[in-house]
Amino acid sequence: MPFLSYFVTPKGLKEYNPEEFAKKISEPGSKVIDVRTAMEFNHNHIKSATHVPLGTIKHELSSINKTDRLFLVCATGHRSRAAATILIKNGFNDVSHLSGGMTAWKKFSGQKD
C-alpha cells in the first residue's frame, strides 16, 4: 500500500467525530471494523468491533458484507483511511471512519489505557 494512502481521504469516505460515530454504530446494519494490530485491539477496543488488521484487509474482502454500513477505526485515523481506500476501490459504498481514531474515542468515552 502506498505510504500516502495513510494521509489521503478517499472519495466517498464519511468521517465522524466520536459523538456522531457512537450514534451511527448503534444503528441496524452497522459494522465496526478495527484495523489496528492484534496487540492494540486486545489492549482496548470498541465493544462491537470486529478485528481485521489493515495488513490483512485485502484477504478478508470476501468475508465482509458489501451491504453493511462499515465504520472503520484505528489509533489516530490514518490506517482507517488506508483501509477505506482498499474497501472503496473494491466496491464497498457505505464506508465511514472515526476521525481521530481510538485516541479521540478514549477522550469522548472516558476509556482508560
User: Which pLDDT score is estimated for 5?
Assistant: 54
Give start and end residues of each alpha helix (H) in 26-77: 38-43
2: in domain: no
pLDDT at 10: 82
The three cell numbers of residue 24 are 451511527
pTM over 0.85: yes
Tell me, yes or no, whether 50 lies in a domain: yes
- The sign one gets for the Cα dihedral 39, 40, 41, 43 is positive
Residue 1 lies in a domain: no
Residue 112 confidence (pLDDT): 67
The domain that contains 49 carries what CATH number? 3.40.250.10
Q: Estimate the share of the chain in helix, then strand, then coil, as percent rounded to the nearest 5.
A: 45, 15, 40
Residue 47 is predicted with a pLDDT of 93
Distance linking the first and last C-alpha atoms of the chain = 29
99-104 average pLDDT score: 96
Comparing 2 with 49, the larger pLDDT belongs to 49
19-62 pLDDT per residue, tens: 999 999 999 999 999 999 999 999 999 999 999 999 999 999 99
State CA 13 to chain mean position distance: 11
Interior angle at CA 51, CA 113 and CA 57, nearest 5: 130
Number of domains in the chain: 1
Q: Using an 8 Å Cβ cutoff, are 80 and 55 in contact?
A: no
Provide the domain limits for residue 64. Answer: 12-109
Asked if residue 6 belongs to a domain, the reply is no
Provide mean pLDDT across the span 77-99.
96
Residue 5 resides in a domain: no
